[in-house]
């Protein structure tokens, strides 16, 4: 079975917010991503609301036709919104205000009680599936299973940052081992962070055996800005030059 592709539209919201405007709207981007074949949509409702807002999340919950994955921390207010919205998938992620993007996986071993409580609340509220975002470390994967996760999302950042095939070997071996551990523990396996047009095939070849789903955002939004630019300029040329 080919893996499912979920598109993260956070950075469409980043662009919108740069002008405090209404467009580009991540809800429209989600609609277009699904029209182009994506299996679902991901957003991260951050505590500081730096890109996606509560309005976006509520509209996406009503309009995404495939799988809606809401990434959130265990912050009380964000968790309450997530419980109310009941996404198909809630992915619990660590969050630090000063980070540019999510920097590492959850430390499930040290925060297992807090994460187990959050997973319970999300399940009780009717969330379809709860995933923990973890580094590819078997002990973290096992701790996620014990804390009540249905799935893990493996952090692919170390692999994505490796610049040569030789440097990719070790991160890929860690991802493959963590995925196999998850399979044995009865967890579904998702993956994401830094996957792009150059590395995604290599990821699946070397570590994709148990991976059911990937979440990709930045690379797709960045490429859309480039491949869409010519059409956007042509339309403006027509208006200005007739
Ligand atoms: N998965 C998680 C948990 C993330 O935090 C992110 C980044 O928002 C992604 C996947 C997608 O990463 P990228 O934007 O680099 O494709």
Instruction: Quote the ligand 1 centre to 215 CA distance (angstroms).
Output: 6
What SS3 state is found at 210? coil
pLDDT of res. 234? 98
pLDDT of res. 97? 75
Instruction: Quote the ligand 1 centre to 8 CA distance (angstroms).
Output: 7
What is the Cα–Cα distance from 92 to 131, expressed in whole angstroms? 6
Q: Whose CA is nearest to atom 7 of ligand 1?
A: 193
11 flagged as catalytic = no
Residue among 11, 51, 190, 193 flagged as catalytic: 193
Instruction: Quote the ligand 1 centre to 194 CA distance (angstroms).
Output: 7
pLDDT of res. 99? 79
Q: Whose CA is nearest to atom 15 of ligand 1?
A: 194
- How does pLDDT run along the chain (242 residues), one tens digit per residue? 789 999 999 999 999 999 999 999 999 999 999 999 999 999 999 999 999 999 999 999 999 999 999 999 999 999 999 999 999 999 999 988 777 877 899 999 999 999 999 999 999 999 999 999 999 999 999 999 999 999 999 999 999 999 999 999 999 999 999 999 999 999 999 999 999 999 999 999 999 999 999 999 999 999 999 999 999 999 999 999 98
Instruction: Quote the ligand 1 centre to 133 CA distance (angstroms).
Output: 10
Domains of the chain: 4-241 (3.20.20.70)
Of 235, 212, 192, the residue nearest 10 (C-alpha)? 192
Q: Is the CB of 189 under 6 A from ligand 1?
A: no
What SS3 state is found at 163? coil
Residue among 11, 44, 51, 155 flagged as catalytic: 44
pLDDT of res. 1? 75
What is the Cα–Cα distance from 64 to 150, expressed in whole angstroms? 22
Phi, psi of 160 (to 5 degrees): -65, -30
């Amino acid at each position: 079975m080919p893996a499912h592709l979920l598109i993260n539209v956070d950075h469409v919201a980043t662009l919108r917010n740069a002008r405090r405007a209404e467009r580009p709207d991540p809800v429209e981007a989600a609609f277009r991503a699904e029209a182009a074949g994506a299996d679902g949509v991901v957003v991260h409702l951050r505590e500081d609301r730096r890109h996606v807002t509560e309005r976006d999340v509520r509209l996406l919950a009503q309009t995404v036709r495939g799988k809606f994955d809401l990434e959130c921390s265990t912050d009380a207010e964000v968790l309450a919104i997530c419980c109310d919205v009941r996404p198909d998938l809630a992915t619990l992620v660590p969050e630090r205000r000063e980070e540019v993007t999510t920097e590492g996986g959850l430390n499930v071993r040290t925060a297992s009680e807090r994460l187990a409580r959050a997973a319970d609340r999300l399940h009780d509220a009717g969330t379809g599936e709860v995933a923990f975002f973890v580094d590819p470390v078997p002990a973290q994967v096992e701790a996620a299973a014990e804390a009540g996760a249905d799935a893990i999302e493996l952090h692919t950042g170390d692999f994505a940052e490796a610049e040569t095939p030789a440097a990719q070997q070790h991160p890929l071996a860690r991802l493959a081992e963590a995925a196999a551990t998850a399979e044995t523990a009865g967890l579904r396996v998702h993956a994401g962070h830094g996957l792009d047009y150059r590395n995604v095939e290599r990821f699946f070849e070397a570590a994709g055996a148990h991976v059911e789903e990937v979440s990709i955002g930045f690379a797709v939004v960045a490429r859309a800005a480039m491949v869409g630019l010519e059409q956007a300029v042509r339309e403006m040329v027509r208006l200005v030059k007739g």
